[in-house]
Amino acid sequence: MNHAPDFDSRVAAALANPTLKVAIERTTGTARTKRAAAMAAWPEFPAARALGRDIKDHVIENLAHYLVAFEKNADAAGTKVHWARTGEEACQIVVDICRKAGAKSVTRAKSMLGEEIGLPHALEAAGLERVETDLAEHIIQLAGDPPSHIVWPALHKTREQVAELFRAHHRDPGAMATVEAMVASARRQLREKFMAADVGISGANFLVADTGAVCTVTNEGNAELTTTPPRIHIVTAGIEKLVPSTAHAMAMLRLLVRSATGAELTQYTTFHNGPKRAQDRDGPDEFHIVLVDAGRTRMLNEGLAEMLRCIRCGACLNHCVVYRQIGGHAYGATYPGPMGSVLTPMLDGLEQAQDLPRACTLNGQCQEVCPVAIPLPTLLRGWREKSWQRGFEPARVRWALALWRFTAMRPRLYEFAGNIGLRIMPLFAHGGWISRMPLAGGWTAHRDMPSPSGGTFLAQYRRRFKK
Amino acid sequence: MPKCAGLEQNVTLEIRPAENSLPHVALFATCLVNAMRPAVGFAALALLEQAGCRVDVPQGQTCCGQPALNSGDAEGTRQIARRNIEMLEPFDHVVVPSGSCAATIRLHYPELLAHDPAWAARARNLAARTHELLSYLADIRGWLPEGISLEASATYHDSCSGLRELGLKAQPRKLLAAVNDLTLRKLEGEETCCGFGGTFCVKYPAISNAIVDEKAVAVEASGAALLLGGDLGCLLNMAGKLHRRGAAVRAFHAAEILAGMGDAPAIGETP
Ligand code: SF4
């Protein structure tokens, strides 16, 4: 794993990792191909996308209304709703529920919010046995890694590395020759834990305001095994997960699943609503939902309301040229890729995360694929502006830019300075190309620079067409 | 611009060139073309004249302001934007041989000056009359090259700003298809960023290198002899990488090919 304190070192480590690029490309490459095929077969995508955007915007504009409605309807179904202003508060609420129930072992279905608020750590710190039931989460739990992708948390591990991990940690690993054999080994390892857990904790893909239900989607069915057998089911969810009704949740699901994996639906789509009723065969005795703010209402006031539309599909990561080279861990945060570079300065502070909005070519492909049309490049530019205003850019960059701006406002000086540069550059050239030049190391370390010749366009134009 | 006194609201009317008169066009060359590849400026000039424009090259031009814009220096960009608006607004149209510089004027000037009462309308007005060169030729002038031939195979990279901010996709292909004997080969990942990103490529050289290396591999795999594009920054990045890798692919701005300058030295070649 990649624990270097600064972004540049984490990037260097990622780029030097011989298997990382292969692992990233296997998963994101498949995701891109499948998504493209799904979109090609779905001419209504632009309309569905506009609808998805409008649904989320509507909820965000009327957040208080829908939160109150959700609480009322969840309460009517027998659910206990808790409110957490911060991640710590949310963890404390979860730990308190576990303690009160005398719980020893907790199963957890993958939830990025859980990662964001540090829930895995909080559970362990409270002395609870934590069992990750999502296969990928199980892998990174064994490896001791944080997730490197919001949909495939173990994307940075190759099949071969996973087989090695299972061989080292599983009771009865078997041959591990095929993916099926590996899954079977994980199943043997995890099944009995599923059934023996006291508390199951899951996240939410959608919170349905008019029924009080929580919708989760998985492909492994682990969410259902996490939330049904234990006595207590706890959901932690960000308040932006609200949708007005089940019909709205379905509209969002179509966008989410196609954007994430290219499939029309996930294998399991479950609406959890309240604890076990008298006539039910199974289900938890207690059902808790912890609604977490943790910066979300602050985002509304900081020009980041559009980011609250995000449904965590991962498409922006899969299509990001930077993510595809450096992987998730180099970002040094819970959420990587374009959406992470917008969220992290909010969650961890801009000064600490200042590199993330800058380490982007602003090519716009993330916005193009985003199923809820979040203008990610514009939001990243917004952070760059704040970063500039607060003076986080290194002094040498500020000076260079100030000098450049001063000359760009004065055409004669601009031309004069340009001409000096154009006279100097050919001194470093060999056969038309410059492969090393002082002050140009950022460029010439990796690529050559064509040597200019014959003066500027403006000067040549004057010579040709004017006196 | 004349004021219309007879209306309820005081509006300014933009005077459009009459149908039969030649539009007066300012060629905004961009700083990279100005310093690194004047041939692109001359190609643009020739193409605009062929397409029936009266072209001027305003001598006070410097830069569109992108380095400041992308560094988050909004106030610095505004200063440059106001200066460019003043310089360029006397023209019917402003044409720029770069998608990203054209997009800066078309999209970002109006955004940056939206809350400046003295400049917002002027920024919008200039934005509406500013065009990227290839889309201007194909869409606005309805021009196609005639009698230009180049026996070569070429592949085309869609630079991101032109593609996603200005919708530049069909136009270069349509124009290049009219060049005799030129075969266009598909570039795998033609819409994927080349890793240039303006200041990005020197602020994060290692990431930029990993991206452009992948791009160079795709360009080489296309089997084309020429790499064409509409943005000099991206072309310098890709050509520089291809040269470092020892690839024989030669790079040109599409305008040079359209203007019949495909037999001149490619980027980095000496005459
Ligand atoms: S920002 Fe858009 S593309 Fe990225 S994860 Fe969120 S919804 Fe998906």
A222-261 pLDDT tens trace: 777 888 889 999 999 999 999 999 999 999 999 999 999 9
Q: In which domain, by residue range, is B217 found? A: 149-258
Calculate the CA A46 to chain-centre distance: 23
At residue A381, does pLDDT exceed 80?
yes
Asked whether residue B245 is domain-assigned, the answer is: yes
The answer to whether A321 contacts chain B (CB < 8 Å) is yes
Closest by Cα among B147, B96, B129 to B14: B129
pLDDT digits (tens, 9 = 90+) for A324-369: 999 999 999 999 999 999 999 999 999 999 999 999 999 999 999 9
- Torsion from C-alpha of B63, B69, B70, B74, nearest 10 degrees: 150
The answer to whether A443 contacts chain B (CB < 8 Å) is yes
Rounded-to-integer distance, Cα B223 and Cα B228, Å: 13
Q: Based on the fold, state whether residues B55 and B85 are members of the same structural domain.
A: yes
Asked whether residue B131 is domain-assigned, the answer is: yes
Window B:60-89, CB contacts with A under 8 Å = 60-63, 65, 67-74, 76, 79-80, 83
CB distance A450–B38 less than 8 Å? no
To the nearest whole Å, the CA of B224 is away from the closest chain A CA by 20
Asked whether residue B129 is domain-assigned, the answer is: yes
CB distance B72–A401 less than 8 Å? no
Residue B183 CB burial class (10 angstroms; 0-12, 13-18, ≥19):
middle
pLDDT of residue B8: 53
Sheet holding A105-108, edge to edge: A80-84, A286-292, A232-238, A199-202, A105-108, A129-132
Contact B175, B258 (CB under 8 A): yes
Does pTM top 0.90 for this prediction?
A: yes
Asked whether residue B76 is domain-assigned, the answer is: yes
Kindly report the CATH number assigned to the domain that includes residue B205. Answer: 3.40.50.1860
The answer to whether B90 contacts chain A (CB < 8 Å) is no
Contact A313, A6 (CB under 8 A): no
**Chain B nearest-CA residue for A319:** B192
Contact A213, A271 (CB under 8 A): yes
From residue A448, alpha-carbon distances to A126, A224, B180 in Å are: 56, 56, 32
pLDDT digits (tens, 9 = 90+) for A184-210: 898 888 888 888 899 999 999 999 999
Q: Which of A113, A372, A380 to mutate to test the pocket of ligand 1 (most atoms within 8 A of CB)?
A: A372
The answer to whether B161 contacts chain A (CB < 8 Å) is yes
At residue B1, does pLDDT exceed 70?
no
pLDDT of residue B19: 53
Confidence band, pLDDT 50/70/90 cuts, at residue B20:
low
Protein residue with least CA distance to atom 8, ligand 1? A313
Residue that has been written with the tokens 């050289």 in this structure: B205
Rounded-to-integer distance, Cα A264 and Cα A257, Å: 6
Residue type present at position A362: L
For residue A447, give the nearest of B31, B65, B241 by CB distance: B241
A386: which chain B residues are within 8 Å (Cβ-Cβ)? 72
pLDDT digits (tens, 9 = 90+) for B9-19: 544 445 455 55
pLDDT of residue B3: 45
The answer to whether A450 contacts chain B (CB < 8 Å) is yes
Tell me the CA–centroid distance for residue A43 and ligand 1, in Å: 20
Q: Based on the fold, state whether residues B110 and B158 are members of the same structural domain.
A: no
Q: Based on the fold, state whether residues B34 and B159 are members of the same structural domain.
A: no
From residue A251, alpha-carbon distances to A51, A140, A256, B187 in Å are: 8, 32, 9, 35
Over residues A390-406, mean pLDDT: 90
Window A:343-382, CB contacts with B under 8 Å = 358-365, 367-368, 381
Asked whether residue B219 is domain-assigned, the answer is: yes
Asked whether residue B271 is domain-assigned, the answer is: no
Q: Based on the fold, state whether residues B92 and B176 are members of the same structural domain.
A: no
Q: Based on the fold, state whether residues B183 and B128 are members of the same structural domain.
A: no
Domain end marker among B140, B158, B180: B140
Q: Based on the fold, state whether residues B10 and B129 are members of the same structural domain.
A: yes
The answer to whether B58 contacts chain A (CB < 8 Å) is no
Q: Based on the fold, state whether residues B161 and B190 are members of the same structural domain.
A: yes
Over residues A142-159, mean pLDDT: 94
Average pLDDT, rounded, for chain B: 93
To the nearest whole Å, the CA of A384 is away from the closest chain B CA by 4
CB distance B236–A449 less than 8 Å? yes
**Going by DSSP bridges, is the β-strand pair B226-229/B180-185 parallel, antiparallel, or unpaired?**
unpaired
The answer to whether B205 contacts chain A (CB < 8 Å) is yes
Kindly report the CATH number assigned to the domain that includes residue B107. Answer: 3.40.50
**Going by DSSP bridges, is the β-strand pair A206-208/A213-218 parallel, antiparallel, or unpaired?**
antiparallel
Q: Based on the fold, state whether residues B123 and B181 are members of the same structural domain.
A: no
Residues facing B3 on adjacent strands: B12
ipTM above threshold 0.90 = yes
At residue B113, does pLDDT exceed 90?
yes
The answer to whether A17 contacts chain B (CB < 8 Å) is no
Q: Based on the fold, state whether residues B110 and B202 are members of the same structural domain.
A: no
Asked whether residue B103 is domain-assigned, the answer is: yes
Buried b (16+ CB within 10 A) or exposed e, A175-188: ebeeeeebeebbee
CB distance A322–B161 less than 8 Å? no
CB distance A454–B38 less than 8 Å? yes
To the nearest whole Å, the CA of A116 is away from the closest chain B CA by 26
Rounded-to-integer distance, Cα B247 and Cα B250, Å: 9
From residue A97, alpha-carbon distances to A115, A180, A200 in Å are: 19, 37, 11
Asked whether residue B263 is domain-assigned, the answer is: no
Domain end marker among B110, B140, B170: B140
Q: Which domains does chain A have, with CATH numbers?
A: 1-41+314-393 (no CATH), 44-296 (3.40.50.10420), 401-466 (no CATH)
Number of CB pairs, chain A paired with chain B, less than 8 A apart:
195
Q: Based on the fold, state whether residues B42 and B153 are members of the same structural domain.
A: no
Domain end marker among B118, B140, B162: B140
CB distance B65–A397 less than 8 Å? no
Q: Rounded to 5 degrees, what are φ and ψ at A319?
A: -100, 5
For residue B80, give the nearest of A402, A408, A441 by CB distance: A408
At residue B6, does pLDDT exceed 70?
no
Q: Based on the fold, state whether residues B157 and B106 are members of the same structural domain.
A: no
Q: Based on the fold, state whether residues B130 and B177 are members of the same structural domain.
A: no
CB distance B70–A397 less than 8 Å? no
CB distance A359–B212 less than 8 Å? no
Give me the number of domains chain B comprises: 2
Residue that has been written with the tokens 């995701």 in this structure: A31
Over residues B245-269, mean pLDDT: 96
Sign of CA pseudo-dihedral A147, A151, A155, A159: positive
Buried b (16+ CB within 10 A) or exposed e, A404-420: bbebbbebeebbebbee
For residue B244, give the nearest of A367, A381, A447 by CB distance: A447
Between B162 and A184, whose confidence is greater? B162
The answer to whether A46 contacts chain B (CB < 8 Å) is no
* Segment of A88-97, A425-434, B194-203 carrying the highest mean pLDDT: A88-97
Protein residue with least CA distance to atom 7, ligand 1? A310
